[in-house]
Amino acid sequence: MTRAVRLFTCTLLPIFTLVLGWQLGMAMQERELQDIQENLELLYSGQTASGTVIQDPEKEVNPALMWGVWRLLQKHYIAPEKMKTQEMLYGAVGGMVGALEDPYTVFMTPTENQQFHQSLQGTLEGIGAELTLRDGLVVVVAPIKGSPAAEAGLAPEDVILKVDGEDVTGKSLVQVVDKIRGPKGTTVELTIERSGENEFITLQIVRNEIHVPSVEFELKETATGGTIGYIALNQFGDDSVEEAQEALEELMKNNLTGLVFDVRFNGGGYLEGAVDLVSFFLSEGKVVSVQRRTGEPIHHYVTGRPIAGDIPMVVLINEGSASASEILAGALQDHKRATIIGKKSFGKGTVQEVFDLPGGSSIRVTTAKWLTPGGRDLSSEGVIPDIAVERTREDIENKNDPQMQAALEWLVDGEDVTKEEKE
């Protein structure tokens, strides 16, 4: 009898200990949750746990919620080996930035930050297209000249709906870009929606190493014997201003009768680059005004040392001309220094600054908007050409360039060129 009782007691003890441990654990967990809940109640009541009064709980945020969730996950998540803390941290920061719903304010991981700087230096791997986020949809700003995207027929204003068959509507721009990018030689399939088309279009694009020459230039002889200089500025990168200056000085040796400056499909870049380039063509005047959220606008003026201050000039723009390209075109248009030919520009009139963060990451933040010398808000208006000339997809495929032809005719004749605009 005694032995039976002892055996029974010994068998019951581990069960009792287990139950007790579970109850103690639950009690600790409940207290921990209660602490977080109390902090939240204090937060929304207008004070912190230390008693500090928060004047406006909607604006002054207590970060205890995030760290409380972090601790709970570390202590209680069933599969701690799956907790990739660095990715979790990047995800938290990215989510906070993404909640602003500003496609140009973006947190960049070290890899994304490196790719961003590589793109400004003119080298990267992928399909070669600048994208933006508009109303929750990924929209093509412009394919890079000579890139796989351009050769495959991707066009400005195309809306990317799927990547490799996966629906990307509602995803962040960074997430979509990550899916599109990939090693040289691999293929990505894009399903796009294009204005004027009744059905979705599927493009197979083979990724490649993208080298973007900032500047290309040549001489164009006209039927009347005049010599027109042509400069295509493909991006505002690290060396773009220096390369453009070298091209312009080389062309100016040929007794030019006119100049065509081409920023079609140029998605922009550094603000300083746009100011320096406008200074090549104006002896005085304002280039752009930068309006931050407080204070008076900051005005940027030309340097006063033009290289080609008097030569007749045309600037070519299209739907893929954005950002710094619009600053250049808008300034020269407002000062009546150049005639703008082509199609209405993209309309990106905000300024972003890049702040480096620990570990190689960074954040690109919209800090201001810019206005042309005449006070036009480029975000709402874009740049409207003086002479509207369409260049269709068929024109591009057949290597016809009615916009360039219009520019040459205007420079030769010195008068407006009338073209029927195709909608």
Same domain, 236 and 266: yes
Same domain, 238 and 190: no
pLDDT at 342: 97
Domain membership of residue 6 (yes or no) is no
Sign of CA dihedral 378, 380, 382, 383: negative
Distance CA 234, CA 142 (A): 11
Domain membership of residue 345 (yes or no) is yes
- Is residue 380 part of the annotated active site? The answer reads no
Average pLDDT over residues 217-245: 88
Same domain, 228 and 190: no
Whether 160 has a pLDDT exceeding 50, the answer reads yes
Same domain, 285 and 386: yes
Residue where a domain terminates, one of 174, 194, 211: 211
Domain membership of residue 140 (yes or no) is yes
Same domain, 160 and 245: no
Return the higher-pLDDT residue of 423 and 354: 354
Question: Percentage of the chain surpassing pLDDT 70?
Answer: 81
- Full-model pTM: 0.69
pLDDT at 386: 97
Same domain, 143 and 232: no
Q: Which of 343, 348, 361, 369 is catalytic?
A: 348
Name which of 338, 190, 191 is nearest 259 in CA terms. 338
DSSP state, 360? G
**255-291: buried (b, 16+ CB within 10 Å) or exposed (e) per residue?**
ebbbbbbbbbbbbbbbbebbbbbbbbbbeeebbbbbb
Range of lowest pLDDT (109-123, 160-174, 246-260): 109-123
Domain membership of residue 396 (yes or no) is yes
Whether 401 has a pLDDT exceeding 70, the answer reads yes
- In the block, tokens 């810019």 appear at 370
**Total count of domains within the chain:** 2
Whether 22 has a pLDDT exceeding 50, the answer reads no
> 164 lies in which domain range?
123-211
Whether 150 has a pLDDT exceeding 50, the answer reads yes
Q: Give the pLDDT confidence of 197-218 residue by residue, as tens digits.
A: 999 999 999 999 877 678 999 9
Same domain, 175 and 258: no
- In the block, tokens 């941290």 appear at 89
Q: Give the pLDDT confidence of 64-109 residue by residue, as tens digits.
A: 788 888 888 988 889 988 888 888 988 888 888 888 888 889 898 8
Domain membership of residue 207 (yes or no) is yes
Segment of 173-182, 317-326, 335-344, 357-366 carrying the highest mean pLDDT? 335-344
Average pLDDT over residues 14-34: 42
pLDDT at 234: 87
Whether 414 has a pLDDT exceeding 60, the answer reads yes
pLDDT at 290: 92
- Is residue 323 part of the annotated active site? The answer reads yes
Domain membership of residue 57 (yes or no) is no
Same domain, 244 and 384: yes
* Cα-to-chain-centroid distance, residue 302: 26
Same domain, 259 and 199: no
Same domain, 353 and 220: yes
Give 146's pLDDT tier (boundaries 50, 70, 90): confident
Residue where a domain terminates, one of 211, 241, 268: 211
Whether 57 has a pLDDT exceeding 60, the answer reads no
pLDDT at 81: 87
Q: Give the pLDDT confidence of 350-376 residue by residue, as tens digits.
A: 888 889 998 899 999 999 998 999 999
Distance CA 375, CA 355 (A): 28
Domain membership of residue 378 (yes or no) is yes
Lookup: tokens for 379: 């975000």
CATH classification at residue 403: 3.90.226.10
Domain membership of residue 186 (yes or no) is yes
Q: Which of 240, 279, 323, 345 is catalytic?
A: 323
Residue where a domain terminates, one of 167, 184, 211: 211
DSSP state, 338? S
Same domain, 259 and 298: yes
H-helix or E-strand containing 126?
strand 123-126
Same domain, 201 and 254: no
Q: Which of 352, 361, 362, 403 is catalytic?
A: 352
- Is residue 336 part of the annotated active site? The answer reads no
DSSP state, 161? E
pLDDT at 124: 66
CATH classification at residue 132: 2.30.42.10
